Amino acid sequence: MKKYILYLGTLIIGLLLGWMIFGGASKKETDHNHDTVTETNHMWTCSMHPQIMQPEPGECPICGMDLIPIESGSDGMLANQFKLTENAMALANIQTTIIGQGKLEGSTVKLSGKIVENEEANTVQVSYFSGRIERLYVSTTGEKVRKGQLMATIYSPELYAAQQELITAAKLKESQPALYKAVRNKLKLLKLSDNQISQIEETGIVQENFPVHATVSGTVIEKSVAQGDFVRQGQPLLKIADLNTVWANFDVYENQINLFEKGQEVVVTTNAYGNKEFKGKVDFIAPIVNASTRTVTLRVVLNNENALFKPGMFVAAKVVGGTKDTKNVLTLPASAILWTGERSVVYLKTDPNQPVFEMREVVLGSRIGDDYEVLEGLSAGNEIVVNGTFTVDAAAQLQGKKSMMNKGGGTTMTGHEGHMGTDTASSKKESDPTPGHERMEVPVKFQGQLKAIFNDYINLKDAFIEENPKNITSSAVNLRNNLGMVDSKLLSDNTSHELWMVLEKELITATSAISEMSDINAQRNHFKHLSSHLINVVQRFGVNEKVYVEFCPMADNNRGAYWLSKEEKVINPYFGSAMLTCGEVKQVIN
């Protein structure tokens, strides 16, 4: 018995020692691991419902999916990074470039402008007395005239009476010299020469129709009267321009003003003469910004003795060597930039070996040719998207990442909800416009043109619902053609104009692809992108109509897709009769 008691006691002591040695270490290791997890991944969220925030892993209370660390997704990417497939990269022709720092010396800034007459050489031919134009010898604009050439003859009752006064006063000039002198001066004020006055006095014959002679040589650019018109003293008859020199007026945006100074060399070209170049210098920079176009006029005086330049002709200019030609600056292509309100954003390729992207806000300086100076947000060596930028932005929106239209990023958007962004569990929001999608003020006429585009889109959506290939193609063609009818010149604000140009390009690409394809599944894929871009258009510019934004989580292989509708009732264009009512209203745009 003592023997068994000894064995049992030894076993108990061994167990106690093992627990003390290994159990404590295990507890420390567990505590250490727990601390590491808590420190690294202190919050967990759902990839489908990021409004869910929990301090520990588990299941989403809404959909039951496993929660993921908020710092990174299941693929190891940061919260606002996203990845595109190689197929998507090729389909959208997404191209990137590495930006670097270098000198602007020798760079050129391109401008567009128009030839106008040299105002300093313009002369307005006026009538120096009231009367009726008996004969007009210059019949059309564009005629060349010489100084002293007869332009017109005028019958003037006033001048007729003044001649009679002269004949009478001439008889009394010995007795009343003051009266005689006053009458002669009166005729001189009516622009009669001394020879004409002396001839009237000597012959005693009153001249009924008086000639009007050109005071300068030049080209008639404006004719203000016709034969038989009655004109008053000082009324313009003709405008004559000396076109031996002309002005080339160019528009310079506000952020380009500091690149120019008086005396800079300018190379002017025009389509009229192919690659021929004409040199000039900056003669004048307007001190006032045009309130409607937000530009400043830059003027160049050009020699035109050979009459090559015609007023109204469009010209382009290359201004060589801006005022920053000795400064090292960082620049990026204009095609890489997306504008939204006061923000400028680009897409950075974060992994040189993988198509992983992330939105980056930048602060821009002056525009230099086709590039912009970067003041903040990027550094030399960064790789950015320069072609297909808006497609990348659409992918970011659809994946719930930070994007041009969603400043908050993944914490306010779900993977399926894309750029609609719900921040609660509610499935429907009404807004005008949505938070983060500032409505831009645009002309009503422009909104009317967008409404026509929206109606074409509705016809295309209905054709997808009916699964009618003929109507799908014809509706896409109509939408594509009417996009070309939208007048972007109605947008005087530079931000709204550039945003529309980017959106328009994406809309045209999507509609063209739909019209050129015959497979309805491929067409629906492009319809998804078309809808995404048109949602941005409606949110930012408006169409003067209530619009419903609807969403189906099962479309696009369960990745989800949006569409626009005029009615609240859900009729799904992605499945046709198979799943006609699948979906829900995500947003109402007033």
Question: Is the pLDDT assigned to residue 490 strictly greater than 80?
Answer: yes
Cis peptide bond prior to 311, omega within 30° of 0: no
- Same structural domain, 402 and 529: no
Instruction: Residue 283: give its domain's CATH number.
Output: 2.40.30.170
The mean-pLDDT minimum among 65-74, 248-257, 321-330, 352-361 falls in 321-330
What are 40-80's pLDDT values in tens digits? 445 676 655 554 666 778 887 766 777 776 544 445 577 77
Among candidate residues 241, 265, 300, the one where a domain is terminated: 241
Among candidate residues 267, 302, 320, the one where a domain is terminated: 320
432 falls within a domain: no
- Same structural domain, 114 and 259: yes
- Same structural domain, 59 and 8: yes
206 falls within a domain: yes
480 falls within a domain: yes
User: What is the pTM (predicted TM-score) of this model?
Assistant: 0.42
Residue 350, Cβ neighbours under 10 Å: how many?
17
268 falls within a domain: yes
In the chain, the number of structural domains is 5
Contact criterion met (CB below 8 Å) for 434 and 421: yes
**pLDDT for residue 473:** 92
Among candidate residues 287, 320, 353, the one where a domain is terminated: 320
The enclosing H or E element of 231 equals strand 230-231
428 falls within a domain: no
- Same structural domain, 529 and 464: yes
Q: What is the average pLDDT score of the chain?
A: 79
489 falls within a domain: yes
* Alpha-carbon span 390 to 502, nearest angstrom: 7
- Same structural domain, 468 and 574: yes
Question: Is the pLDDT assigned to residue 282 strictly greater than 60?
Answer: yes
- Same structural domain, 585 and 461: yes
Contact criterion met (CB below 8 Å) for 58 and 45: no
Question: Is the pLDDT assigned to residue 27 strictly greater than 50?
Answer: no
pLDDT bracket for residue 420 (50, 70, 90): very low
421 falls within a domain: no
Residue range of the domain that includes 16: 2-69
Over residues 304-321, the mean pLDDT reads: 85
- Same structural domain, 253 and 113: yes
Looking at per-residue pLDDT, the higher value among 252 and 325 belongs to 252
* Alpha-carbon span 298 to 247, nearest angstrom: 10
- Same structural domain, 25 and 57: yes
422 falls within a domain: no
- Same structural domain, 473 and 583: yes
